[in-house]
Amino acid sequence: MAGKIKMMIDSIIEQRAKNNTMLQGVIKTKLMLKGIDPKKYAPHSNDDPAIISKLEALVKDFK
């Protein structure tokens, strides 16, 4: 499987920032400080279980 990480990151940013560019930047910064660089993931990136697990934990709080 591939592309799940990019999909999850995009979903988190979209849901949380709601098109607010300032918040989009802050959320990307928060992700990078957790070791998840949004720029590194494309639709064909491998589904790294460790990163997916981090993102799943985030989704719970980011709602």
User: Is residue 26 a contact residue for another protein (CB under 8 A)?
Assistant: yes
Contact of 48 with 36, CB cutoff 8 Å: no
User: Is residue 42 a contact residue for another protein (CB under 8 A)?
Assistant: no
Residues in Cβ contact with 9 at an 8 Å cutoff, skipping those fewer than 6 apart? 31, 36, 38, 41, 55
Helix (H, G, I), strand (E, B), or coil: what is residue 46? strand
Residue number with CB closer to another protein (44 or 60)? 60
User: Is residue 29 a contact residue for another protein (CB under 8 A)?
Assistant: yes
Binding residues vs another protein (CB under 8 A): 16, 23, 25-26, 28-30, 32-35, 37, 58, 61-63
